[in-house]
Amino acid sequence: MDILGLLKPNAVKVVSTVSSKKMLLHTLADLSAQVHDLDAESTLRALQDREALGPTGVGHGVALPHARLAGLDEVKAIFIRLEKPVDFGAVDRQPVDLFFCLFAPEDAGVEHLKALALVSRTMRDAGICAKLRANTEQDTLYTIITETQRLQAA
């Protein structure tokens, strides 16, 4: 399991039009339809259901929204960097600007947990988060997110 396998370059976006958690979840669902050909409505419902269990804002301006979806055959990801952070109900009560979202098959089990652990480790790295916040180009953001994986593979 690696980030290069989860995240496509076109699944990385900088968004300036989101001003609330609700809008962010809609944006994630719409982007999942564009990038991964997922049904936006069912994806939105799954994300909202997961958030109802407890917020996925992990602190330090980072959130890891995730959902299990019927009909999906592998774990897929989307990364969004917001130009202006939003209240996402994070554990540290700080607004969130970095969102690494995962979509997993309903029966993914261990694969879903491995993907969450991988993304969590990556986004806990203060250096990576600082670089992500300092850049606005989609290609650069993708490179920053995946460079650690590439260096470990080399």
Q: Which residues are catalytic?
A: 66
For residue 81, the tally of other CB atoms under 10 A from its CB is 20
Say if CB 132 and CB 145 are below 8 A apart: yes
102 in helix, strand or coil? strand
Residue whose structure tokens are 């809008």: 23
Distances (CA, A) of 3 to 77, 138, 148: 9, 16, 9
